[in-house]
Amino acid sequence: GQNIDQPTEMTATEGAIVQINCTYQTSGFNGLFWYQQHAGEAPTFLSYNVLDGLEEKGRFSSFLSRSKGYSYLLLKELQMKDSASYLCAVRDRGYQKVTFGIGTKLQVIP
Amino acid sequence: SAVISQKPSRDICQRGTSLTIQCQVDSQVTMMFWYRQQPGQSLTLIATANQGSEATYESGFVIDKFPISRPNLTFSTLTVSNMSPEDSSIYLCSGRTGGDNEQFFGPGTRLTVL
C-alpha cells in the first residue's frame, strides 16, 4: 500500500517562494503527481515526476528523490490566486491506481 | 488531454434511495476511476472502472453499495445505493490515456443525503 505525508496547512506572502514537502512509503512506485485544487473545484494537474531531479514548469517546479521517498513542490512569485490545496499523489508500479495525500492548504496573504 | 463531464453536478437525496452519476469523456481513455472526497479531506479511490467487466474495488468499498458500469471507453456510471447521510460527499470521475502520465478529473458531483 501507500502512505503519503504532507503538511496540512501553510501560509506564505504574495511574491514570495514556498516549498510544499511530501514524503511517501510505498510497496511499489511508478511516479508522483502534484495537483492543485481550489475550494469547490476538481483537482487540476500540475506535474508528474518519475525520475529523480527537478522539473520546472513556469512558476511551479517539482522535485523527486526516489531513494528518500521525498518530493517537493516549489511555487515562485506567489500570487493570491495560488491559494488552494496542493495534493501529492503516488502511482503504483502496476500503472493502476493513484493514491492521494491529505493535501496541503496554502494561504497566500498580501 | 481529455475533458470529463459529470451529471448531475449536485443532488440532494433522501436516505434509502439510490443515485446514479454519469461520467462522459470527450476522447477514449484506457483507465477510468471513481473517487470520493469527503468534506475537508483528500481523495479516496473507490474503484477502477473496467470496460466490459466488473470494476475493481478498493478496500472498504463493495459492488452492492457502489455498482459501476463502463460499457465503452468514454462512458461510466457510479451508483450510490441505499444512501445514508454518511454518503454525503463529492464523487469524482477520473480518466487517463494509455501513453499519458496525466490523470484528468471531472468537475465532481456534490451529493447531500438527508
Predicted confidence (pLDDT) per residue in B2-36, tens digit: 789 999 999 999 999 999 999 999 888 888 999 99
Q: 3-state class of A77 per DSSP?
A: coil
Mutation site for A-interface testing, chosen from B3, B9, B101 by largest number of A Cβ within 10 Å: B101
Residues of A in contact with B103 (CB under 8 A): 33, 45, 98
Q: How many other β-carbons are positioned within 10 Å of the β-carbon of residue B40?
A: 10
* B11/B97: higher pLDDT: B11
Strands B75-80 and B19-25: antiparallel
Q: A3 — contact with chain B (CB < 8 Å)?
A: no
pLDDT (tens, 9 = 90+) of chain A, 110 residues, equals 678 999 999 999 999 999 999 999 987 888 999 999 998 888 999 999 999 999 998 999 999 999 999 999 999 999 999 999 999 999 887 756 788 999 999 999 99
Q: A74 — contact with chain B (CB < 8 Å)?
A: no
Q: A27 — contact with chain B (CB < 8 Å)?
A: no
